[in-house]
Amino acid sequence: MARLFGTDGVRGRANDQLSPELALRLASAAVSVLGADANSRRDDVARVRPRVVVGRDPRASGELLEAALCAGLAAAGADAIRVGVVPTPAVAYLTADYSADFGVMISASHNPMPDNGIKFFAAGGHKLADDVEDAIEAAMDAPAPRPTGAGVGRLHDAPDAEERYLRHLAASATARLDGLTIVVDGANGAASTVGPHAYEAAGANVIAIHSAPDGLNINDGCGSTHLDVLQAAVLEHGADLGLAHDGDADRCLAVDSTGAVVDGDMIMAILAIDMHERGVLTDDVLVATVMSNLGLHIAMREAGIDVKVTGVGDRYVLEELRNGGYALGGEQSGHIVIPASGTTGDGVLTGLLLAGRVAATGTRLADLAAVVTVLPQELINVPVSDKHAVAVADSVLSAVADAERELDGSGRILLRPSGTEQLVRVMVEAGTADDARGIAERVAAVVAAV
């Protein structure tokens, strides 16, 4: 049977695969696993019920799933602290700030509106390890005691949740944004209110677009996966830069004053150099995934910064950051993690730090981003019957070796099975787009023939 938890929580079409019944069972199981030692983490030990922070993005189905989750929590004897519509990193932060035993975020991030998801954070706001997720999944089918009377959990609203998170963002910023004009695309999602407020509080003149969520329009032709409207708005308003978030605001991509996209690799380079100059980039190390462009590696080497490479997915970045005690990591998608300021990627914080570098240096974002020369990249997804077997077939390995000899250090080839589909992904970077495409097509043809 397929594992219920995916790479980022439990996701599916809301009220179909992700039903309220499933949400209720998940919540009750999470209490039995994550709330078992609640009192050992508490100063006020007289309170015996676990406490759980519950947040959501503005999808219409979030209301349904929030009700089901809170019912499951209360039925299992836990108190739910409802923080309303806030970004995913806010739930992670508030889980620690409220001294909660765990947190739950209801969101499908950048996915379209019919989808939704449930993501758990352990005490302190940390993502769950695989074995903990497996324990929750196993507990869903185990009989659980149901308290009665005073043992039943209670529901509490937290009217100060957004203000607490905004204070955290302000304390984490490194520079004022006075004099900057910033277009902010909230993706009609969780950052629609918080994002503009944070940038305005830092002194920026903010032009907010896609900041009117109605429950149905999240990620609909907007946000970090659809940058064309932001590009046009930056040019129309003569803004210094534009910032785009995804539905739950754990990502940030940017647009410079010329309308050019500044991706996650460029953002990581800018922040790494800033932290390197300030002496806060631990061991002068940046953590990135195998999908980051070779241009990032070249730029970091020239800046005296080492790049530690992980597998694809923010959980692997987080693991490397924790294991090495490093200060900065992220993905090309704009999911940037700064452990000193948060336990997960925070798109609004990333935007504050990026804009802060522009303001502090008086340098255009386009010029800051120019430190990275992006090599042309070609990605081909090849459908296969057995992705793991195909990826290690002799003919495929031989084709990859031939490609590496042809590139001779001027580019790279990456071949990997998809994490979620029966696909083998062939990615090639080379000095020209034609070279990247030609090599990728040749290797993809060998993959398809296996």
Per-residue tokens: 310: 């992980």
Rounded CA separation 107/100 (Å): 20
Q: What structural domains does the chain harbor? A: 10-158 (3.40.120.10), 164-369 (3.40.120.10), 377-449 (3.30.310.50)
Measuring CA to CA, which residue among 274, 217, 267 is closest to residue 242? 267
Which of 28, 61, 107, 109 is the catalytic position? 109
Query: In whole angstroms, what separates CA 128 from the centre of its chain?
Result: 14
| Cα–Cα distance for residue pair 450/440, rounded to 1 Å | 16
pTM for this prediction: 0.90
Q: What is the pLDDT along the chain (450 residues), one digit of tens a residue?
A: 568 988 788 999 999 999 999 999 999 999 999 987 665 555 554 457 899 999 999 999 999 999 999 999 999 999 999 999 999 999 999 999 999 999 999 999 999 999 999 999 999 999 998 899 999 999 998 887 789 999 999 999 999 999 999 999 999 999 999 999 999 999 999 999 999 999 999 999 999 999 999 999 999 999 999 999 999 999 999 999 999 999 999 999 999 999 999 999 999 999 999 999 999 999 999 999 988 999 999 999 999 999 999 988 888 999 999 999 999 999 999 999 999 999 999 999 999 999 999 999 999 999 999 999 999 989 999 999 899 999 999 999 999 999 999 998 889 999 988 866 789 999 999 989 999 999 999 999 999 999
Tell me which DSSP letter residue 175 carries. S
Contact 354, 363 (CB under 8 A): no
Structure token digits, residue 233: 């708005």
Model confidence pLDDT, tens digit, residues 49-67:
899 999 999 999 999 999 9
219, 111 contact by CB (below 8 A): yes
Q: How many CB atoms lie within 10 A of CB 2?
A: 4
211 classed as catalytic: no
Give the C-alpha separation, 58 to 62, whole Å: 7
pLDDT of residue 45: 46
109 is in an annotated binding site: yes
Please give the helix or strand (H or E) that residue 206 lies within, else none. strand 205-209
Tell me whether residue 250 is annotated as binding: yes
Tell whether residue 246 is among the known ligand binding residues: yes
pLDDT of residue 144: 75
Tokens of 317: 């970045």
